[in-house]
Structure 1
Amino acid sequence: MSAPFAPPGLTLLERGWLSSNNILLHDPADPAAPAVLVDSGHCTHAAQTVALVHHALAGRPLGRILNTHLHSDHCGGNAALQRAHRAPGSRGPVPISVPPGQADAVRRWDEQVLSYAPTGQRCERYELDGVLPPGVELEVTGQRWDVLAAPGHDPDAVMLFRSADGVLIAGDALWENGFGVVFPELDGIDAFDEVAQTLALIERLPVRWVIPGHGAPFGDIPAALARARTRLAGHQADPRKHARHAAKVLLKYHLMEEREQPWDEVLAWAASTPLLASCQARAGVAGPLLDFATQLLEDLVAAGALGRNGAENAILRDA
């Protein structure tokens, strides 16, 4: 039986959807030293994130926030945390570092480049301080972490690896049962091979524990990689199925943002969401986008992934 997950200087705040997990890195030998937070969840859970982080800090200052990538469920709490915490020794907000590929878009707050406009998702603007270049070694709370490129799910994503005890903060590059939607593919950009390269990189590392972007940490790395590769092979064999799956994910995410919404309002959102139209095209489905969205919603209700009350204009709820 493997040892329980208890790496030193690390507190995992395992979150439910929509929010990503939050990982607080701190110096176990110095309770007064500033801590570092990796990923901050979704804006709809921002108040809860602030409260959870405050409790986990246990009196420590928050020294920096790092984002593995900039999807709305991983950085949506940034702004709220910046309002709640000042940089140690400064009047300014707690600093934030992101992967370099989208740093300029954050500074300009270009919601098209940052994916929030195409996906129809929300994220509150925050102030950027620095970047997390792949290939560098970070000294974080007395521990060394390697910043590793993890393209595939997101072309600019990074992972953090602590070789001293084999802990990998993987973001959405590897979950216990797969990985996140391969978003570049929905824009016609070949990225399945990048997913394979990222999985190969993880396999080469002496990883003992993976902290995924969503779900509990896990230690059976070969089994998780095998499941991920099986899923990837399915996507490569049938990209249309991947696109249809991605469309359902977008709809579920939207309903988790709203919590409940009349059916016709969901369809109005679908009609105004460019990436959903891209999913339809990549899925090879002809006809109006509203017909495509309606069929997906009906499939999700039939599968029990969504709830529905009453007649055609009733309220939809995520189950």
Structure 2
Amino acid sequence: MSGARIDHVVTSGLFTLDGGSWEVDNNVWIVGDDAEVIVIDAAHDADAILAAVNGRRVSAIVSTHGHDDHIDAAPDLAARAGAPVLLHADDLMLWRARHPDTRPDGELRDGQRLAVAGTELTVLHTPGHSPGAVCLYAPDLAAVFSGDTLFQGGPGATGRSFSDFPTIIGSIRDRLLGLPPGTAVHTGHGPSTTIGDEAPHLQEWIARGH
């Protein structure tokens, strides 16, 4: 029986890509129990994330993708928490743009299972927003952590370097919308939603993208 739960902190900072910068608020998700946790997306503020971790052991820092607003605090958090940073290899070029002197400690692979507090998070490779974007599905918690692949109201942005609209639509259709309708979708920015709320709108998103 899993004792895992989901905690959440919002951090704020800059997202920089293609010569532009934008102020953003990021969701940082913390999955675990009173003893150990996994941190999903070490965004902006290691102090705030460590405060939410509250002394628990961090078994991994998982990056849903390599955009700098999702990884900017990762090396600092990793050093202070003694935890490895994991990222899909297809986003290493984005990591290097932000952290040229460090590397992630391990690679995320499609189908990989990450165990914490008696539950498992399955890595789903969902390219489109970036080549190495992943989502993390936790069936015991009836939740998927979607990074910037799926939001309340539609897919993540695809108008910048290394992104592709048909690819993200395929990822959402093939990897996410088949999950149980009651699955909570915990996003990289903004409010959570459910698979059941988003699934009926796939054709609208496709039309909107043309």
TM-score relative to the length of structure 1: 0.55
The amino acid across from 1:151 in the alignment is P
The amino acid across from 1:114 in the alignment is L
Over residues 110-161 of structure 1, what are the superposed CA-to-partner deviations in whole Å (9 max), with x where a residue is unaligned? Answer: xxx32876xxxx5575442111101122212321111111111112111000
Over residues 175-211 of structure 1, what are the superposed CA-to-partner deviations in whole Å (9 max), with x where a residue is unaligned? Answer: 0022322157x56x8x333222222121111152000
Matched with 1:215 is 190
The amino acid across from 1:79 in the alignment is P
Matched with 1:20 is 26
Matched with 1:64 is 60
Whole-angstrom CA distance in 2 between matches of 1:137 and 1:217: 23
Deviation at 1:226, TM superposition (A): 4.1
Matched with 1:101 is 90
SS of 1:159's equivalent? strand
Matched with 2:36 is 34
1:145 to 115, 121, 138: 121
Structure 1 contact 26–141 (Cα < 8 Å) conserved:
yes
Percentage of pairs with the same residue: 25
Over residues 85-110 of structure 1, what are the superposed CA-to-partner deviations in whole Å (9 max), with x where a residue is unaligned? Answer: 2x2xxxxxx211111323xx4xxxxx
SS of 1:193's equivalent? helix
Q: 5 Å matches for 1:118-137?
A: 122=98, 125-137=101-113
Structure 1 contact 132–147 (Cα < 8 Å) conserved:
yes
Tell me if 1:204 matches 2:204: no
The amino acid across from 1:198 in the alignment is S
Change (3 A) 1:82 1:165: closer
Change (3 A) 1:216 1:148: same
Whole-angstrom CA distance in 2 between matches of 1:192 and 1:18: 22
Tell me if 1:193 matches 2:166: yes
Matched with 2:15 is none
Task: Give the number of the structure whose residues are more often strand, by fraction.
Answer: 2
Matched with 1:231 is 205
Matched with 1:169 is 145
Deviation at 1:166, TM superposition (A): 1.8
Whole-angstrom CA distance in 2 between matches of 1:233 and 1:149: 24
Deviation at 1:174, TM superposition (A): 0.5
Structure 1 contact 148–160 (Cα < 8 Å) conserved:
yes
SS of 1:10's equivalent? strand
SS of 1:224's equivalent? helix
Q: 5 Å matches for 1:287-298?
A: none
Structure 2 contact 61–78 (Cα < 8 Å) conserved:
no
Structure 1 contact 167–210 (Cα < 8 Å) conserved:
yes
Whole-angstrom CA distance in 1 between matches of 2:86 and 2:119: 18
Change (3 A) 1:229 1:19: farther
Change (3 A) 1:100 1:116: closer
Q: Which runs of 5+ in 1 are unaligned?
A: 1-6, 88-93, 106-112, 238-319
Whole-angstrom CA distance in 2 between matches of 1:9 and 1:116: 32
Whole-angstrom CA distance in 1 between matches of 2:132 and 2:46: 26
Matched with 2:19 is none
Task: Give the number of the structure whose residues are more often helix, by fraction.
Answer: 1
Structure 1 contact 22–37 (Cα < 8 Å) conserved:
yes
Number of equivalent positions: 196
SS of 1:114's equivalent? helix
Q: Which runs of 5+ in 2 are unaligned?
A: 13-22
The amino acid across from 2:184 in the alignment is W
TM-score relative to the length of structure 2: 0.80
Kindly indicate whether structure 1 or structure 2 has the higher relative contact order, using CA contacts under 8 Å at least 6 residues apart. Answer: 2
Larger gyration radius, structure 1 or structure 2: 1
